[in-house]
Structure 1
Amino acid sequence: MHSTDPTPSAVGGKGMPLHVKVMVGFMLGTVLGLVVHATATDAGWVQGLIEYGTRPFGQVFLNLLFMLVVPLMFSALVLGVAELGDIASLGRLGWKTLIYTAVVTAMAVGIGLLCANLFQPGTHMDPALVEQAMSNAKAGEIVSKGNELRLMDLLVNIVPHNIVGAMADDKQKLGIVFFALMIGIGLVMKPTPGTRAFKSALHGLFEICMHLIGMFIKLAPFAVAAFMFNLTSQLGWDVIRSLLWFVVTVLVALALHGFVVLPLWVRIMGGMSPLAFFRGTQEASLTAFATASSTATLPVTLRVAEENLKLPRKVSRFVLTVGASANHHGTALFEGITVLFLAQVYGLHMPIGQQLLVLILCILGGIGTAGIPSGSLPVIAMICGIIGIKPEGIGIILGVNTFLDMCRTSLNVTGDLATAVVVSHRSGEKDLPDEAIEHLDEIVR
């Protein structure tokens, strides 16, 4: 299934690469939005443009991607497990993925807590803004969702009682992962003509999804321009300026993890040049930034892993599909900073013991976070409730959350790819050539 096209930006068509188009769209949408905010923020035509133009266009783009997420996730993971060939290989790969994910996520949360303690962003908040945020209706909605979350429920729901219901619920994506793992294990344990035919059908489904995603993703530059126009035309720099310390704290922590920890991790544990890694993953990272969804970015992540990074399919499909639902470095880091930020806003001192508890809860919360835009906010509300912080304060960050969500999602996807590189290198797995696989199938028949 490897493409014969050597250009990693083929999906973007001839000429300008897709990731460059996405960046142009980002800059254009941001500049236009700021100009509109400064000159005509209350004009009726601006609200009409957002309500009937840019907002629905962006939502349709995300819906096109989400529409294919479940079939793509299911087929990719089943095929990844089936191609491992035996249950022992699955166990080794699963444990490596789990351990590496936990270690790097813990480092990410640790960096976030360290930056929150150093910058003390909550001590720079305007009390009037805090009071205004506490009465935010959307904050109350997030808190109610957070109150519904329970860590044990997250663990129990990994095993779905209704797979169709799990497919329709963003909070139960891990249930789809578990179901796909079971189907893949069944294919490995029962090699019959019927199961081979089913596996061939899944190959077809996977290829169809990837092709359709390749068509839809060409709209990404226009979608990210629409997203940034909506954000900056309505908020401008006012909200960002009032939350500057919080934004800077998050961005510094994300940068430290993304440009220091992950390159060292890839070089030392994965045996790959950081420069080659970032060059190969930039398209997926920018797509994640545009969509603010690691789940919606999964098709691009799978493609760059196989075509650009040359990772074995059986490893990349397994690690990246699981990672889109459970490996959220940037999200866990953001959750840790936000909890400490809210504690500082309320003047609460958190000793080292409580901060260690926050670290553990953020690691678990990162696993249970839905891979959709702003999926971490209910989890943050849940953690605040456990720690004893008023979760209503989450309304303070809503104004800057969209931009920070785009940033942390980009780190989530980059972290997934870094984990795939390390697991591939450490497991020693390699793909057989397609001709060899077809020849083995003929022998079995």
Structure 2
Amino acid sequence: MNSILKNYGSIILLLLGITIGSLIGRFTPQYVDILKPVGDIFLNLLFVSVIPLLFFAISSSIANIEDSNKLGRTIIIMTIVFISTIIIAAVLTIAGLWAFPVTAIRDASAALDPLTGNANETWGDRIVRFLSVDEFGNLLSRKSILAFVIFALLVGVATRKSGEAGKHFTAFLNAGNKVMENLLTLIMKAGPIGLGAYFAYQVKTLGPELFGFYAKPLGFYYAFGMVFFIVIFSVYAFLARGGKGVGSYWRHNISPSLTALSTCSSLATLPANLLASNKMGIPKEISSIVVPLGNTLYKNGSAISSILKIYVAFSILGWNFFEPSTLITAVGITLLVSMVAGGIPNGGFIGEMLMISIYGIPNEAVPSILIIGALVDPLATVLNATGDTVAAMLVTRFSGEKFKADSIEA
């Protein structure tokens, strides 16, 4: 019981806050106007923390990559594996939502147009606006989030190339990353109150019908996620090493899966993943690179939930999710979510801020996105964490390295 409270206490408190807020919105709506500013303050704190957190998380992860003889080749193959399999997860989720649509609430007051900029903009103008800004100060706005991510990546690369002179700056990035992780953890302690207050507003505005809406997307995530976990990961293991790969992966994946489920933390699962990688026969020169970087940069569970949350937000707002440009953007956002969620506590919220910023999603849909992200966290963590080892198997296969047969039965 103590272990459950320790690992799931934040989710339990969040559910409690949402429940109390819902009851207030349903039975004492006269108090909602008093509570809504509390929710607004909480959301604003998330918005202002996203920029520095992104900078330190991305820059420090790049700056800390150490050079080695096989690093370049391994990273190239790893990047291809990460990107291609995340795109597969996103596309399969889109297909699943198309085949099994989630009934959405349509509310006239929430049916707003996306903030896509000037209607006369060309695609070239939009690409320039999304990928760059003309002044440094504009980078600090969440409206320029893509340009900021690119800048943070370049800072990390430049730090690595600075050699000895860049070590002090690397230490600064590492310290900043830790500070911002703790800041996000601190802000999220107010999540039960902030989201509860905002949920009271939603219940008053949209009515009790809102509860039926959440059951279906959550049911879709857990059903689809389990099928993805069992079937797709088995396919990846088979591609990496045939039937032996499937047996080895599932035999040694039990401990990381249980660790991820019990802790709801990809970072806490990292030691178990490294041990499992050795037992699967993955060469250490590959597992020591792919698994730790995958812990930060590779998130199947976040990819699936990212698509689902975009779908939910568009459904609430009455927007067309299945428009080609929207789907292409959704896949792109999913790649970014996988890069920045990482082992950061509540890192999924950063991906949600990316989505909100890029699509210009108004506040009406924000709590729904945050709530779904919290409720899918246990299975998302399992998918995120255990995907690292199967990715390392694929990297081993495509890099031409040999599995260590004597480690299979370890």
Query: TM-score, structure 1 length as denominator?
Result: 0.61
Aligned to 1:227: 194
- Distance of 2:199 and 2:23 partners within structure 1: 9
Question: In the alignment, what sits opposite 1:269?
Answer: 236
Alpha-carbon offset, residue 313 of structure 1: 5.7
Look up the SS of the partner of 2:273 in the other structure.
coil
Structure 2 counterpart of 1:171, from 130, 138, 146 = 146
The answer for the alignment partner of 1:30 in structure 2 is 18
Give 1:102's aligned amino acid.
Answer: I
Whether the aligned pair in 2 keeps the contact of 1:37 and 1:236 (CA below 8 Å) is yes
| Matches of 1:219 and 1:398, distance apart in 2 | 16
Unaligned 5+ runs, structure 2: 238-248, 278-286, 341-349, 398-410
CA distance in 2, matches of 1:167, 1:375: 13
**What percentage of residue pairs aligned between the two structures are identical?**
7
Amino acid at match of 1:331: S
Give the CA deviation at 1:71.
Answer: 1.6
Letter of the 1:376 partner, please give it.
M
Q: 1:69 aligns with which of 35, 54, 57?
A: 54
Match in the other structure for 2:110: 133
Confirm whether residue 280 of structure 1 aligns to residue 244 of structure 2: no
Shift of 1:147: 6.2
The answer (yes or no) to whether the contact 1:158–1:175 under 8 Å persists in 2 is yes
1:306 to 2:270 alignment? yes
Measured in 1, the distance between the counterparts of 2:298 and 2:149 equals 10
Are residues 1:421 and 2:389 paired? yes
1:86, distance to aligned residue in structure 2 (A): 3.6
Post-superposition shift, 1:54? 6.0
> Would the alpha carbon gap of residues 111 and 334 (structure 1) be closer, same or farther in structure 2, given more than 3 Å must change?
farther
Judge conservation of contact 2:253–2:386 (CA < 8 Å) in 1. Answer: no
Contact (CA 8 Å) 1:112, 1:334: kept in 2 or not?
no
Following superposition, the deviation at residue 42 of structure 1 comes to 1.2
Aligned residue number for residue 21 of structure 1: 9
CA contact (8 A) 2:83 2:335 kept: no
Per-residue Cα deviation, 1:60-96 (whole angstroms, up to 9, x for no partner): 4775575433123201122236468642222122111
Q: What aligned pairs does 1:35-114 form with structure 2 within 5 A after superposition?
A: 35-43=23-31, 47-48=33-34, 50-51=36-37, 55-56=40-41, 59-60=44-45, 63=48, 67-80=52-65, 82=67, 86-114=71-99
Is contact 1:54–1:227 with CA below 8 Å preserved after alignment?
Answer: yes
Paired residues, what number?
A: 358
- Where in structure 2 are the equivalents of 1:243-392 lying within 5 Å? 246-266=213-233, 269=236, 271=249, 275-282=254-261, 285=264, 301=266, 303-310=267-274, 314-316=289-291, 318-323=293-298, 328-335=303-310, 360=328, 362-367=330-335, 371-373=350-352, 375-376=354-355
Unpaired runs of 5+ in structure 1? Answer: 1-13, 188-193, 286-299, 383-393, 430-445
> TM-score normalised to the size of structure 2?
0.65
Q: CA deviation at 1:195?
A: 0.5
Letter of the structure 1 residue corresponding to residue 65 of structure 2: G
Matched letter for residue 99 of structure 2: L
Q: Give deviations 1:305-345, integer Å, cap 9, x for gaps.
A: 53453375633454454458xx7332224445776x599x7
1:140-191 per-position Cα deviation (integer Å, ceiling 9, x unaligned):
4x4445969987645895578877754653233441464156437x63xxxx
Query: What letter corresponds to residue 229 of structure 2 in structure 1?
Result: L
What residue identity is the alignment partner of 2:185?
Answer: I
Contact 2:261 2:379 in 1 (8 A): no
Per-residue deviation, 1:41: 2.6
CA contact (8 A) 1:262 1:415 kept: yes
Matching residue's letter, 1:195: G
- In structure 1, the residue matched to 2:170 is 202
Moved more, 96-105 or 165-174: 165-174
Q: Could you tell me how far apart the structure 2 residues matched to 1:176 and 1:84 are?
A: 27
Asked if the contact 2:21–2:197 (Cα under 8 Å) also holds between the matched residues in 1, the reply is yes
Aligned-residue Cα RMSD (Å) equals 4.8
Q: Report the Cα distance in structure 2 between the residues aligned to 1:426 and 1:241, rounded to whole angstroms.
A: 47
1:64 & 1:377 partners in 2: Cα distance? 14
